[in-house]
Amino acid sequence: MKGIGNSKCLLFALALATALLSCPALAKGKAQAQAKPKELTGTLRKIKETGVITLGHRETSIPFSYYDDQRNVIGYSQDLMLKVVEAIKADLKMAEIDIKLVPVTSSNRLALVGKGSVDIECGSTTNNRERQKQVSFSTTIFIIGTRLLTKADSGVTDFPDLAGKNVVTTKGTTSERLLRRMNDEKKMNMSIISAKDHGEAFLLLETRRAVAFMMDDALLYGEMAKARHPGDWRVVGKPQSFEAYGCALPRDDSAFKAAVDRALSEAMTSGEAEKIYAKWFMQPIPPKGLNLDFPLSDAMKALYKAPNDKAYE
């Protein structure tokens, strides 16, 4: 009986030793499984495989995204978009990413992102619920109010003064929708002109074919920056809406949105975005070296402190 007991003890000891030896191997295998990187999908996979990222930009949205005198794309939104590219390059562990620049308009920007011709569009694009049916939006990059640009001697000081007059806005924008709704609901009998872009809208205003130009306040200050006589113009009127600009992204690509949002949030909370803001809104800018003198608002200060992708409507 004693021999049998010794045999059982020996077998038990061997089994225990085997289990103990196998535990590190099991733990190691589990750790390796947990450490395995997720497979890239969607836009990040496309960028990794092709080595190219396609950026949509505006041509005349001063000071957000526009051409300088040498047709280089510059501006506040463009600088933030390039920060995103650098962050994605680091995330994907790529030595270089080729940047393909694609000009877009108010009318086609969302469609180009939606069908994959553009990976990310950063300009002056409002994030709202209707547009979220077509594209996703990044963390907000700017908050604006919709107002009026007019000649200092026009007699226009607010929106009621537009009754019976020619008013211009840019086609495909939220300002166009707001202006048309105002005209219908308040029976103002305005003649509304929809220009193809902000540059054309300002030309119509400058040549007196319209008495006022309705658009986002920061863009209106940008148009003044390129006027022949900036002192002749005024931004007036009670804001008809407050809107959040975001970068337009492909829908249902959560990994790409997360990468873009991380990059933008880091720029904002680190103080880098505020430096970029000062460069474009508080210092002389191309093409005429005019200072927009557009101080950082309380809403923008709050955004930089706590980045978010909230739509205002």
Same domain, 173 and 54: no
Model confidence at 33, in pLDDT bands (50, 70, 90)? very low
Residue 132 contacts residue 248 (beta carbons within 8 Å): no
**pLDDT score at 18:** 52
- Reported as a single tens digit per residue, the pLDDT across 246-274 is 999 999 999 999 999 999 999 999 999 99
pTM: 0.79
Angle 57-142-219 (CA atoms, 0-180°, nearest 5)? 65
Same domain, 153 and 234: yes
In a domain, 169, yes or no: yes
Please compute the mean of the pLDDT values over residues 45-59 and round it to a whole number.
97
- Torsional sign, CA 234, 72, 266, 255: positive
In a domain, 229, yes or no: yes
Closest CA to 172 of 219, 215, 113, 122: 215
Same domain, 86 and 137: yes
In a domain, 20, yes or no: no
Rg (CA), the chain: 28
Model confidence at 7, in pLDDT bands (50, 70, 90)? low
Same domain, 69 and 191: no
Provide the token pair at 105.
Answer: 């308009």
| Residue that is last in its domain, among 242, 265, 295 | 242
In a domain, 27, yes or no: no
Same domain, 129 and 259: yes
Same domain, 235 and 295: no
Same domain, 121 and 59: yes
| Residue that is last in its domain, among 242, 259, 284 | 242
- Give, in order, the Cα–Cα distances in Å from 297 to each of 32, 145, 280, 301, 304: 49, 11, 14, 6, 11
Number of alpha helices (DSSP H) and beta strands (DSSP E) in the chain: 10, 16
| Least trusted range by pLDDT, from 13-27, 192-206, 238-252 | 13-27
| pLDDT over 80 at 136, yes or no | yes
- Give, in order, the Cα–Cα distances in Å from 290 to each of 29, 150, 207, 222, 227: 62, 18, 21, 9, 10
**pLDDT score at 4:** 47
| Residue that is last in its domain, among 242, 264, 285 | 242
**pLDDT score at 34:** 52
* Domain CATH number, residue 197: 3.40.190.10
Q: Which residue has the higher pLDDT, 11 or 186?
A: 186
Which range marks the domain in which residue 92 is found? 42-141+246-305
Q: Count up the domains in the chain and report the number.
A: 2
Same domain, 250 and 137: yes
Same domain, 132 and 57: yes
In a domain, 296, yes or no: yes
In a domain, 26, yes or no: no
Model confidence at 312, in pLDDT bands (50, 70, 90)? confident
Closest CA to 307 of 138, 189, 193, 171: 138
The mean pLDDT of the chain is 90
Is it true that the peptide bond before 230 is cis, omega within 30 degrees of 0? no
In a domain, 97, yes or no: yes
| pLDDT over 60 at 116, yes or no | yes
DSSP for residue 158: S
What CA–CA distance (Å, rounded) separates 184 from 229? 34
Same domain, 213 and 153: yes
Same domain, 126 and 255: yes
